[in-house]
Chains A and B, each alone.
Chain A
Amino acid sequence: MLDIEIDGKRIQVPPGSTIMDAARALGATIPHFCYHKKLSIAANCRMCLVQVEKAPKPLPACATPVTSGMKVFTHSELVTAAQKGVMEFLLINHPLDCPVCDQGGECRLQDIAVGYGGTASRFRETKRVVSPKEAGPLISMREMSRCIHCTRCVRFGQEIAGVMELGMAKRSAHSEIQTFVGRSVDSELSGNMIDLCPVGALTSRPFRHSARGWELSRRESVSPHDSLGTNLTVQVKNDRVLRVLPRENEEINECWISDKDRFSYEALNSAERLEKPMVRVDGALREVEWNVALDYVAHALKDIARNHGVESIAALASPHSTAEELYLLQKLMRAVGSGNVDFRPRRADFSSDGQRAGIPWLGMRISELKTLEAALVIGSFLRKDHPLFAQRLRRLAQAGGKVSLISVAGDDSLIDLFAQIPVAPRDLAATVAGVVKAAAILRGVAVPAGLEGVEPRERAVAIAESLMKDGKKAIFLGNVAEQVDQAGQLHALGAELARLTGASLGFIGEAANSVGGYVAGALPTGLDARQMFAQPRMAYLLMGVEPEFDCGNPREAVTALGQAELVVMMTPFRHGAAMDYADVLLPLAAFTETSGTYVSTEGRVQRVNGACRPRGEARPGWKVLRVLGNVLALPGFEYESSEEVRDEFIPAGASFIENLDNGIALPLAPVAAVSAEGLERIADVPIHFADALVRRAPSLQRTRDAAEPVARIHPQTLDRLSIAGETRVRVKQGQGEAILPVRADASVPPGCVRVAAAHAATARLAGMFDPIDVERA
């Protein structure tokens, strides 16, 4: 440890610390702009100059390493003069347009100018004008004259987002932050640059000019999107959410959030919000009062139970629902007498149900990711499925960790991968089996039964070797690994690989309550999410699910719903398809409007409160289900608060769930070479179509990630199909088809057609990873 004295206060810091680190540890304030604890040191703003005993010049605190016995002064005459000088320089070309600047009131430059600047400027010339830049729908770069060239945004792109989309062009006072010519900022983490920008140069395009920072109430919340449990601050004015910002939590999201987390709030004010209950009367949906709607549902359910049996009722919930909603839905179903309840609409294979040792989870804490020596991710569109999880793996790789990816596409993860094996979905299990076999051979133990015929690929051996090294290692199963029809086998293979290598096994988890649903017991004892549509029921209760987008096989689901006698949709939104098949629409309070609990992929229990009142007559899901239970005269539905609901299945005060266990009793099935006859579909869930909220966020819908689906096919396969040269093709799965633009893409494994799911253009298609045909349009 090194001794350092700052303004007479002593502290010990570890070798390698900078003066800034030491000052932060002491709680001493050193003004700065370019320094950011998560970014590399640039030392370009020069605001953090401090005086160091025996140094002839003031030194930047952010870049100067502490030496033993160093004495630092942060308020000496020399330092004050330096700070005043730098502040003056920063302001000469900065437009003093704070009254019309979006950053006004929450601007670093404004704050520090008040603290360290002079009262008037000696600069009498005209100020520099920088032309506006176009960066896409999320970030506004209209007032680049305000830029103070701290390059935080540039470093963020290079270091955190993994892609440099902004750079400083030109020299001297002509320097400008800009995009590459003709390109926009498309990173799924881009919004963080708005937070990082210390001035009003990069501002939030959706939020611009809608409110002042000080007019907004700040409410703590948690992201309802991916499984990370990202902490958010929701900012509200007049009961409308106007902005969402990261709430720093070093153990989860650090100080970042994805664009999905940041901008999905726009959907809360969507014109598609369902504001009143609706019931189908004489073929048309009519708005009714809540009591009428709930009575209708209760009577209809009772009628169907009486006439067709309780097994003819099924319930499906979105894994983005709160744990309380999931718990009450399954409780209601079981009280009615049906075990047909599930919360995993995109799953195709349920063979692991009943074979799991506990609740599937990440297998480790998120914050432990950085301690890994090696990691293998199986079946994931990492960056687009889990932007911040991918960010942590990116930094792990930067720090020397060996990160490998076996998945169904060769997408650029922007991670410096140790190995990447893109394979057709049908080869996924065999490829992982190859790694398992290689690991067994490396360990010198018997090859697990069933894997004798597997021929490990060269890179599979390298991956196995990376997982055999000393230290902490992990295997993660991504969304694809849970959605393909070999999901159970992949789980079992992952467990075997973990056993052989000493790595931990985990599921990244698709949605905010992918673990919470298991905790809430929203699992079938009757028909699962697939069977309930494959064997059509008479009545469906759908909570937060939009089947044509959220189900693994939307065609099957929508067909089943079309023939049902009763379809009750509890949803914050009304939308085209539902208006055809729904008999009752019950307006649910959306994210930010309801209290509830999310259990993240690491098993962390996070409770949120409502940040604003529900829109129109929408009501929190737990209240709707509670009253429905009352109307159905079911016992145990007397809750006064969502906490009471939660206390029934999560012990009060628990911050982590117990009984997390990825063990599986499912035996390994023999892996044989699969004949590559027909074409196979690869369906990604595009990041901005993954749930009902993001689908309706207008700004996100204008990003490149929200582009219309394209059928992407390997050039060789295109040639084989003799459709090379076509611009549009007809893709068919059974009776379902879609006409889509086609593009040759060498990152798609041969023999496959990549067609995104969760989009209106592909909603008539069937299973995400099922056979598919392509012909001329």
Chain B
Amino acid sequence: MAILGAIEPILTAGWDGDAAWRLRDYVKRGGYKALERIFEKRIPADEIIGEIKKSGLRGRGGAGFPTGLKWSFMPKDAKGDRYIVCNTDEGEPGTFKDRDILRCNPHAVIEGMVIAAYAVGAARGYNYIHGEIWALYERFEEALDEARAAGFVGRNILGSGFDFELFAHHGYGAYICGEESALLESIEGRKGQPRFKPPFPASVGLYGKPTTINNTETFATVPFVLNMGADAYLAAGKPNNGGTKLFSVSGHVNRPGNYEIPLGTPFPVLLELAGGVRGGRKLKACIPGGSSAPVLPAEVIMDCAMDYDSIGKAGSMLGSGAVIVMDETTCVVKALERLSYFYHEESCGQCTPCREGTHWLYRIVHRIEHGKGRPEDIDLLRGLTTNIMGRTVCALGDAAAMPVQGFLRHFRDEFEYHIENGKCLVPPEVQRAGSTFFKATV
């Protein structure tokens, strides 16, 4: 079972049993009702977009951009093809929610995409699936076959005269392909490298045509928003942070996994849902929104509510909802080293500040972690992050710089200790006792 717990679940309701992903199960749970109603009542596209706007649904991929607003950016009168693209290139460390959506509820994604296609007038869509979850790519293909056979996808959907063809496309595991314009490049058969923006995909997207790209969870949520009504969905969360969201809780908790909770739920409630900190230890820090979100120390995160605005106010971001919990046995330098290594490896290498900057950041953090740090390194790290941020083609540069800034802001003393003493403030035996991961990274 993919979902370990939830509070007032919407998206994950009924994800029990091995057949939850099947069309029959989904329909039994009320699936494709939203789509049927749209075509039955001939609801105009503008009304759908309005409803999504009203619901406060924000992009679940990480940026939290209002979904309805994004849909409304599609040019109204432009002739020619337009596309819908679903971003299932889930590659951010800590994030593992979209794979569960494809595992347990692929039809919600399909229904959401068909509705979105109808709303923006697209005749063709792609679901770009991360290359390292091959089995789920195959599952999505199977679900697509079911949907096609049942007339939910393809020509003249449900007799409405609306045509929409949807395809699955799998990547090869590059993190950068989760960046929307790199993803488009990849679908087009080129090397996954972000495009310079503007123009944004809504005007020049896939194959140069207007394109709407949303995250898997966003699409999967759309049918539920329409079924329960925008007001009810909004009320499930809090203003400007409508509805519920999936949180991927990992790290030093007793029950790591995906949890659906209403936005605005206090962090301690989520932590409790995940079984609390492992071994009853003290919470040290938490990355609340995936590896690119700045870390928050225990005292800050424990006072936070889990929604876009509250986490933003606390100095981090809700991101994709990947909550990485670290207890008192954690060496924050080592944690940052691992993150910096990830960004160094996953930079596409296209633009200078990111290619060289992520590389350099990693080398410095690596040096500090291995007892070879220099007194000037902390200022150097800080300086490098400002030289990267805001100067790159895409947001990966920022994503690499923000964790460095976050860790330095809250745990400077531990970095200094490392540099001065050539070892960690947290004794090795404590680290070892607290982490099964430790041995693997030594």
Contact = CB atoms under 8 A, between A and B. Distances in A.
B351 A173 contact: no
B363 interface: yes
Given A44-B350, A88-B387, 11 more contacts: A45-B351, A46-B351, A46-B353, A57-B391, A81-B387, A85-B386, A86-B391, A92-B360, A168-B191, A171-B176, A172-B355
B390 interface: yes
B346 interface: yes
In this complex, which of B386, B387, B391 has the most chain A Cβ atoms within 10 angstroms of its Cβ?
Answer: B391
B337 to A, nearest CB: 14
Interface string A165-202: 00110111111000000000000000000000000000
5 contacts: A65-B198, A86-B391, A89-B353, A92-B356, A128-B359
A41 B352 CA distance: 15
Tell me the interface secondary structure of chain B in the complex: helix
Contact of B352 (A81, A124, A148, A172): A148
A436 to B, nearest CB: 38
B356 A93 contact: yes
B134 interface: no
A56 interface: yes
Interface string B369-380: 000001010001
A155 B392 CA distance: 20
A168 B355 CA distance: 13
Interface residues of A, number: 38
B196 A60 contact: yes
A350 B360 CA distance: 70
In this complex, which of B191, B351, B374, B383 has the most chain A Cβ atoms within 10 angstroms of its Cβ?
Answer: B351
Given A92-B360, A172-B359, A45 B352 contact: yes
B347 interface: yes
Given A46-B351, A86-B352, A172 B358 contact: yes
Interface in A28-76: 41-47, 49, 56-58, 60, 63, 65
A47 B347 CA distance: 18
Contact of B345 (A41, A81, A171): A171
Contact of B356 (A56, A89, A170): A89
B360 A89 contact: yes
B285 interface: no
B357 interface: yes
A172 B363 CA distance: 14
B419 to A, nearest CB: 14
A85 B391 contact: yes
A170 B349 CA distance: 8
A464 to B, nearest CB: 30
Tell me the interface secondary structure of chain A in the complex: loop
A128 B374 CA distance: 21
Interface residues of B, number: 34
Interface in B381-409: 383, 386-388, 390-393
A174 B359 CA distance: 9
Contacts of B353: 46, 85-86, 89
Given A168-B191, A173-B344, A174-B349, A125 B363 contact: yes
Nearest to A91: B356
A172 B360 contact: no
Contact of B351 (A43, A56, A167, A174): A43
A90 B349 contact: no
A502 B360 CA distance: 63
B91 to A, nearest CB: 13
A171 B350 CA distance: 8
A147 to B, nearest CB: 11
Interface in B327-362: 344-353, 355-360
B358 A173 contact: yes
Contacts of A88: 387
Nearest to B349: A175
Leading 3 A-B pairs by shortest Cβ distance: A85-B387, A175-B349, A173-B359
B174 interface: yes
A122 interface: yes
A57 B390 contact: yes
Contact of A43 (B196, B346, B348, B356): B196
A89 B349 contact: no
Contacts of A93: 356, 359
Nearest to B397: A46
A151 to B, nearest CB: 8
A82 interface: yes
Contacts of A148: 352
Given A172-B359, A173-B344, A44 B391 contact: no
